[in-house]
Amino acid sequence: MYRYYLEVSYDGTAFAGSQVQVRQRTVQGAVNEALSTILRGTVETFGASRTDMGVHALCNVYHFDVPVLLDEQQLLYKLNAVTAPSLGFNALYRVPGNANARFDALSRTYRYRIYFRKDPFKYGRALFYPFKLDRDTLHDTAAVLSDYTDFTSFSKKNSQTFTNNCQIMRSCWESREDELHYVVEANRFLRGMVRALVGTQLKIARAGLAAADFRAIIEAKDCSKADFSVTGNGLYLEKITYPPYTL
């Protein structure tokens, strides 16, 4: 058997999340169907990151096994030809048989986009937030995250995870023309974590609070104190980093 990594991008508004669900259109379901159709046999994929309904991806990765060597460029062409415009197949490359798209990932990077003036062309692609924010406070709250590893306050209840510890490697706010973006990179993320980080920071900055108040929420280890209310359509899985592989 030969193992491959498949890099995909997608418009999250077209899917009920990324993970396969019964009687729901999902990214993984569409990927499995396209591969199975073209390769003329059942193909099951395993994803690097699960994204919720409405969340977009510039790069998500799935691994799968097949009994024959593939022509990467030809398969990519065929995959893009048989799927809807909401799903794109960007790269395909062979990896060692024990490589794992989820567990081998060194880091994942997410970006959350916010705009402040109503724009119909950004609807469904970013969060419309017509409120004044203290941007200095946002920069302060983003910076304190590197001081912590336990993010229980930013994990939804009843999450099936063995630990709430994460290593955050980058956390910052960026001004992009008429938008404000939050960028965060970590070795792993908890369920709902990025949206909770964004929503809570916005709440702090809008209310005139300070980074110390954000620290108090982190240290409380209580998800009821965080704000999970921001919509998924502003969130993008932007990059997944892997170690170099040798075949």
d(CA 108, CA 131): 29
The string of DSSP letters for 148-165 reads --B-GGGS-TT---S--B
d(CA 203, CA 195): 12
d(CA 233, CA 112): 9
Whether 52 sits among the annotated catalytic residues: the reply is yes
d(CA 30, CA 129): 32
Catalytic residue, candidates 52, 119, 140, 147: 52
Would you tell me the crossing angle of helices 135-144 and 193-206 to the nearest 10 degrees? Answer: 140
**Catalytic residue set:** 52
